[in-house]
Amino acid sequence: NAGVTQTPKFQVLKTGQSMTLQCAQDMNHNSMYWYRQDPGMGLRLIYYSASEGTTDKGEVPNGYNVSRLNKREFSLRLESAAPSQTSVYFCASSVGPGADYGYTFGSGTRLTVV
């Protein structure tokens, strides 16, 4: 089925550990995004990639890095996890600027940092 695939679905990390969240889309979308979702705060943009080869900071980029590996894949890396990074992380993709189709979201990664 076409869509956005995120791995892993669940992860528990110890403070200071690193990990990479993977995201891939098979819709030939140009733009990809990483959000975190925390109770009562909606979705906050961490990083985005408007097109292959470009990445930009969003609202809450501190503590994260991203890589747009190719048109399909956009990964999010936590270099040294902190308890404040406990959250649900969503990857999304879209056709690109000016398109009216909104975003397609993955099913999320639930990350707990202890």
Partner 1 sequence: GEDVEQSLFLSVREGDSSVINCTYTDSSSTYLYWYKQEPGAGLQLLTYIFSNMDMKQDQRLTVLLNKKDKHLSLRIADTQTGDSAIYFCAESDSWGKLQFGAGTQVVVTP
Q: Which is nearer to partner 1, 11 or 105 (CB)?
A: 105
Helix, strand, or coil (residue 83): helix
Q: Which is nearer to partner 1, 53 or 98 (CB)?
A: 98
The least distance separating partner 1 from the CB of residue 106, rounded to whole angstroms, comes to 6
Cβ pair 38, 87 in contact under 8 A: yes
Q: Which is nearer to partner 1, 3 or 16 (CB)?
A: 3
In 50-101, the DSSP E strands lie at 56-57, 64-68, 74-78, 87-94
Q: Which residues contribute to the site for partner 1 (CB under 8 A)?
A: 4, 31, 33, 35, 40-43, 45, 48, 50, 59, 90, 92, 94-108
